[in-house]
Amino acid sequence: MRSMRWTVLVAVISAVATAAVVPAAAAPAAKPSVKLVKRLLTPRYVDNKYADKREKIAWKTITYGSPRLGTYLSDGVPPNSRTIVHPVRARFAVTNVELSR
């Protein structure tokens, strides 16, 4: 019976200590900067692996949607995690630049 009391006392103390150590939920991150969006999207749409051809992007607009909770099926966030995603729509034109040999 005495060991049962100590076990309960230790469990209560550890629960209180854990509650004191766990920080409050952080505020959602700010939307990504235009520079970051350009840096992440450029390699996806520009193919510069050929020696005689280069592509450039002419950025037109970058608009942001309202932040929302991401899903693993459509946003690529890990399952069972609370990840905030910031939808981005970017409009741009890819132009080819021929290099002289």
Ranges of residues in the chain with a pLDDT under 70 are: 1-28, 100-101
List the chain domain ranges: 27-98
Element (H, E) at 27: none
Residue 2 CA to residue 68 CA, distance in Å, equals 51
pLDDT value of position 27: 57
pLDDT value of position 44: 87
CB 57 within 8 A of CB 45: yes
pLDDT value of position 87: 92
CB 86 within 8 A of CB 28: no
pLDDT value of position 81: 87
Q: Token digits for 4?
A: 């049962």
pLDDT value of position 37: 92
pLDDT value of position 28: 58
pLDDT value of position 60: 94
pLDDT value of position 13: 53
Residue 43 CA to residue 66 CA, distance in Å, equals 25
pLDDT value of position 46: 86
pLDDT value of position 19: 44
